[in-house]
């Protein structure tokens, strides 16, 4: 079992792979990242953009798949900090184990995603 800290909540995950999606505030198109939660942090497995422009150009290794520019990942980070202004086009969507949750829909403190601390 894998554990992901989402702000002050802890999620027990049967599958360590989660997706983080949102609608770009300027282009109004989708962006989805697939992450794997591990002891060393969060590892980006892939990112997918539904279009390009306004700072969201596909990477050099991107390939067009069903209308989405899909790029490989490889980056590992200790945490992801999501702004929570409540003023964007859509909230962040965190999907794990077949269920999705909206994050940052209301103004407030940033939401941090990180592997759970060791107990």
> In this predicted model, what pLDDT tens digit does every residue of 55-68 receive, in sequence order?
667 788 999 999 99
What pLDDT shows up at residue 19? Answer: 98
Element (H, E) at 69: strand 68-72
Domain boundaries, the chain: 2-115
Q: How far apart are CA 38 and CA 56, in angstroms?
A: 27
What pLDDT shows up at residue 55? Answer: 67
Give SS3 for 12.
Answer: strand
Query: What's the average model confidence in pLDDT over 8-24?
Result: 92
Q: How far apart are CA 6 and CA 74, in angstroms?
A: 22
> In this predicted model, what pLDDT tens digit does every residue of 40-93 receive, in sequence order?
899 999 999 887 666 667 788 999 999 999 999 989 999 999 987 766 767 899
Beta bridge partners of 13: 2
Q: How far apart are CA 12 and CA 51, in angstroms?
A: 33
What pLDDT shows up at residue 29? Answer: 78
Q: How far apart are CA 119 and CA 116, in angstroms?
A: 9
CB atoms within 10 A of CB 14: 9
The sign of the dihedral angle between the CA atoms of 72, 29, 54, 84 is: negative
What are 1's two structure tokens? 């079992």
């Amino acid at each position: 079992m894998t554990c992901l800290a989402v702000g002050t909540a802890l999620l027990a995950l049967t599958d360590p792979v989660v997706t983080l999606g949102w609608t770009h505030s300027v282009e109004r198109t989708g962006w989805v990242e697939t992450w794997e939660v591990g002891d060393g942090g969060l590892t980006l497995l892939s990112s997918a953009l539904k279009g390009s422009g306004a700072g969201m150009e596909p990477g050099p290794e991107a390939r067009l798949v069903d209308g989405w520019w899909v790029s490989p990942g490889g980056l590992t980070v200790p945490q992801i900090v999501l702004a929570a202004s409540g003023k964007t086009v859509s909230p962040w969507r965190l999907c794990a184990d077949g269920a999705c949750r909206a994050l940052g829909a209301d103004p407030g403190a940033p939401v941090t995603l990180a592997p759970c601390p060791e107990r």
